[in-house]
């Protein structure tokens, strides 16, 4: 755990050395100092030294006889360290006040972060160093936000700095062809039922990427530069706020080369595809007789190697809504973004099976037996109990309700309502069947939860009523089939549930259990819903294979109006 501090001022080096020694309580810690470029290069090039962290001033004197200049000699040290450490070190560069160099740069795959001089610069550098030494994942440096403008073909975008360097980098709008977008949304809604679902998901993701990044050169250039400066797509997060009619659009399916690499040159690949299409024989209607490999660039690619962006960065839905006056919801941020209270956790075990008649529908709905519901609740409850033992200040109350816990002469629905109103439940996990009923003669569909009743009967609970009971919930995990469909999500958002996680397709309940366990493992480790969501998606894909839908089915929705917005730069 070697650290090298390079700065022309003795007081600065001494302060950083002292604060790091006090903050990092580890006998392996070794801190060295240098005042000039030549002294630092000598230490870096010494074969016996392998620095984990370099902290350097941007401006340095070349040697002990010279004064500091503005030739940014600190970046030369970054290059030198990158050449000797194979990109395994972290570099933190201190720049003078008013000299803003962005968030970071990538040097031989090594991350280099910039910290502008100010009253909190020492604290920021010490915290970043501690994270680097512990291997802790840092928060994304770049937030890319897309908002579909109502009754318009335009999409608005914002490129914003993350917690390490907040500020608005760029914003603007670009046109999106509505017919093609509606076509993609319809295709997205059918993906989960298709035998060749993975191929269709890839095609949707590629077509969506082309539509987003080929319509506006200015946006494409600004986006690539922002991602590159943030340290790559892995240090980026994406949010999409689309109108309710377009909510089925699989924005999570974005696929393609990383934005920071040269192969991201979409216009060129698109023109090659068009040339291939023009060269393909056409029928009398003028349509191509067959689909070419260039039209489907991933047709022959191994499914394991398809570059889905949702496996590299968090991609989630963002909603901005105004709750009705009768809503009982309270404005609150997602879990862990408000750290003032311990977390109360509620597990709802709704074990039902059999036939149930849905009002307005013809044939009854057949609900399969949930063989793994008890296992999911047991594993989750045990997991939370263990976490409570490890971090008592994190978790306070843990409660699980099921049919056996219902008081005499009371329905499960009433018991659920009473339980939700008895205290502030910050984390609510529902395990059971649910259904989205598409709109027919109504303006919107309906979301339904199925609750157990005595005698094997099944009771219906409207998703909107359920949402109204969640007055203090900061994370709702709906572990049921199709629980992230539009009506569910909009009902929860209307009542200010700031974070909702569910599945867009029917999922195997055994695999849903595994995803939930992996998600909560990551949630209390990273203290970030988005990061835990990403890690769980990648983890179940590795564990169960790319052909299982469980890694692609989860969808995360965050209520944008409950989150703090970065200040304008």
Q: Which of 72, 102, 134 is the last residue of a domain?
A: 134
Range of the domain at 198: 142-311
Same domain, 283 and 335: no
Confidence of residue 291 (pLDDT cuts 50, 70, 90): very low
Residue 217 included in any domain: yes
- Same-domain status, 358 and 409: yes
Min mean pLDDT across 403-417, 469-483, 485-499 is at 485-499
Strand, coil or helix: 233:
helix
Q: How many CA atoms lie within 13 A of 567 on its CB side?
A: 3
Are 68 and 125 found together in one domain? yes
pLDDT, position 18: 92
pLDDT of residue 220: 87
For residues 539-562, give the mean pLDDT: 87
CA distances from 541 to 280, 314, 484, 518 (A): 36, 15, 20, 11
Confidence label for 168 from pLDDT (cuts 50, 70 and 90) = low
| Mean pLDDT along residues 361-366 | 82
316 domain residue, yes or no: no
Contact 164, 174 (CB under 8 A): no
Residues 296-337: tens digit of each pLDDT: 555 555 666 788 999 989 999 988 766 555 445 567 888 988
With bands split at pLDDT 50, 70 and 90, how would you rate the model's confidence at 261?
A: low
Q: What is the mean pLDDT of residues 509-526?
A: 90
Dist CA 352 CA 451 (whole Å)? 7
> CATH number, domain at 68?
3.40.50.2300
- What letter would DSSP give residue 420? H
Give the pLDDT confidence score for residue 49 in this predicted structure. Answer: 60
pLDDT for residue 561: 58
Taking residues 40-46, report their average pLDDT: 88
Higher pLDDT, 445 or 108: 445
Confidence (pLDDT) at 287:
46
Is there a single domain that holds both residue 343 and residue 243?
no
Q: Read off the pLDDT of residues 117-163 as tens digits, 9 standing for 90 and up.
A: 877 788 888 888 887 887 655 566 789 999 998 777 889 999 987 65
Q: What domain count does the chain have?
A: 3
Q: What strands lie across the sheet with 51-57, from one edge to the other?
A: 30-34, 2-6, 51-57, 90-95, 110-116, 104-107
Q: What's the pLDDT at 339?
A: 63
505 and 376 within one domain: yes
Q: What global pTM score does this model have?
A: 0.71
Lowest-pLDDT range of 52-66, 128-142, 375-389: 128-142
Does residue 305 share a domain with residue 449? no
- The answer as to whether 566 is a domain residue is no
Give the model's pLDDT for residue 400.
97
Residues 117 and 63 both lie in one domain: yes
Q: Are residues 62 and 208 in the same domain?
A: no
How far is C-alpha 129 from the geometric centre of its chain's CA atoms? 24
Query: According to the model, what pLDDT value does residue 106 have?
Result: 45
Asked whether residue 57 falls in the same domain as residue 195, the answer is no
Domain-located, residue 189: yes
What is the CATH number for 449?
A: 3.40.50
Looking at the domain assignment, is residue 317 inside a domain? no
pLDDT in tens, 476-487: 999 876 666 666
Q: What is the pLDDT of residue 79?
A: 82
Q: Is the pLDDT of residue 495 over 90?
A: no
Among 384, 541, 342, smallest CA distance to 477 is for: 384
The residue among 311, 337, 372 that closes a domain is 311
Establish if 563 belongs to a structural domain. no
Between 341 and 508, residue with greater pLDDT: 508
Percent residues over pLDDT 70 in the chain: 79
Q: For residue 430, what pLDDT is reported?
A: 95
pLDDT of 520 higher than 90: yes
- pLDDT on residue 477: 95
What is the four-CA torsion angle of 114, 558, 258, 204, rounded to 10 degrees? -170
More confident residue, 238 or 526: 238
- Check residue 16 and give its pLDDT: 92
Verify that 542 and 420 share a domain, yes or no. Answer: yes
Same domain, 348 and 204: no
* pLDDT at position 563 over 70: no
In whole angstroms, how far apart are CA 338 and each of 317, 394, 404, 528, 533? Answer: 20, 12, 34, 11, 19
Which of 174-178, 249-253, 369-373 is least confident? 369-373
Out of 117, 134, 151, a domain closes at 134
Does residue 244 fall inside a structural domain? yes
Buried b (16+ CB within 10 A) or exposed e, 31-42: bbbbbbbebbbe
Residue 150 φ then ψ, to 5°: -65, 140
- H helices of 299-431, in order, are 373-390, 412-422
- Average the pLDDT over 214-224 and give the result: 83
Q: Are 516 and 376 in contact (CB under 8 A)?
A: yes
Q: Please, which pLDDT band fits residue 351 given cuts at 50, 70 and 90? A: very high
> Are residues 365 and 392 located together in one domain of the fold?
yes
What per-residue string of b and e applies to 470-482 under the rule 16 or more CB within 10 Å gives b? bbbbbbbbbbbbb
Examine residue 564 and state whether it is found in any structural domain, yes or no.
Answer: no
The residues near 70 (Cβ < 8 Å, ≥ 6 apart) are 59
């Amino acid at each position: 755990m070697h650290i090298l501090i390079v700065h022309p001022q003795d007081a600065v080096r001494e302060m950083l050395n002292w604060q790091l020694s006090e903050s990092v309580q580890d006998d392996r810690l070794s801190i060295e100092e240098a005042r000039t470029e030549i002294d630092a290069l000598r230490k870096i090039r010494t074969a016996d030294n392998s620095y984990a962290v370099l902290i350097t001033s941007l401006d340095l004197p070349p040697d002990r006889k010279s004064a500091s200049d503005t030739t940014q000699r600190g970046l030369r040290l970054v290059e030198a360290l990158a050449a000797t450490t194979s990109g395994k070190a972290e570099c933190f560069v201190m720049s003078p006040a008013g000299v803003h160099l962005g968030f970071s740069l990538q040097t031989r795959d090594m991350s280099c972060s910039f910290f502008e001089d100010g009253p909190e610069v020492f604290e920021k550098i010490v915290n970043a160093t501690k994270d680097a030494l512990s291997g802790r994942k840092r928060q994304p440096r770049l937030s890319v936000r897309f908002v579909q403008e109502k009754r318009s073909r335009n999409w608005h975008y914002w490129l914003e700095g993350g917690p390490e360097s907040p500020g608005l980098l760029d914003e603007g709008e670009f046109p999106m062809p509505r017919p093609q977008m509606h076509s993609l949304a319809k295709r997205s809604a059918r993906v989960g039922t298709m035998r060749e679902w993975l191929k269709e998901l890839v095609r949707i993701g590629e077509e969506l990427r082309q539509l987003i990044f080929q319509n506006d050169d200015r946006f494409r250039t600004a986006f690539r530069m922002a991602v590159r400066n943030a340290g790559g797509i892995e240090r980026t997060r994406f949010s999409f706020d689309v109108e309710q009619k377009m909510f089925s659009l699989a924005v999570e399916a974005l696929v393609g080369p990383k934005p920071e690499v040269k192969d991201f040159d979409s216009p060129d690949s698109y023109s090659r595809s068009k040339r291939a299409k023009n060269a393909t024989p056409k029928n009398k209607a003028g349509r191509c007789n067959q689909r070419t490999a260039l039209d489907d660039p991933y047709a022959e690619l191994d499914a394991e190697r398809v570059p889905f962006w949702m496996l590299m960065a968090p991609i989630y839905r963002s909603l901005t809504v105004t709750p009705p006056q009768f809503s009982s919801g309270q404005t609150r941020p997602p879990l862990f973004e408000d750290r003032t209270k311990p977390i109360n956790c509620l597990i709802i075990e709704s074990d039902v099976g059999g036939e149930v008649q849905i009002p307005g529908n013809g044939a009854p709905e057949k609900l399969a037996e949930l063989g793994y519901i008890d296992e999911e609740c047991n594993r989750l409850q045990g997991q939370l109990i263990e976490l409570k033992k490890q971090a008592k200040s994190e978790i306070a109350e843990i409660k699980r309700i099921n049919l056996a816990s219902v008081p005499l002469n009371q329905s499960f629905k009433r018991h659920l309502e009473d339980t939700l109103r008895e205290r502030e439940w910050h984390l609510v996990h529902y395990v059971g069947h649910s259904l989205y009923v598409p709109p027919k003669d109504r303006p919107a569909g309906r979301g339904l939860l199925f609750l157990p009743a005595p005698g094997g009967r099944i009771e219906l609970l409207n998703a909107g009523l359920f949402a109204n009971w969640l007055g203090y919930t900061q994370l709702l995990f709906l572990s049921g089939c199709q629980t992230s469909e539009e009506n569910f999500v909009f009902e929860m958002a209307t009542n200010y549930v700031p974070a909702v996680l569910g599945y867009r397709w029917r999922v195997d309940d055994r695999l849903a259990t595994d995803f939930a366990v992996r998600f909560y493992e990551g949630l209390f480790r990273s203290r970030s819903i988005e990061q835990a969501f990403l890690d769980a998606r990648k983890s179940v894909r590795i564990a169960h294979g790319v052909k299982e839908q469980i890694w692609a089915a989860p969808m995360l929705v965050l209520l944008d109006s409950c989150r703090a917005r970065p200040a304008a730069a």
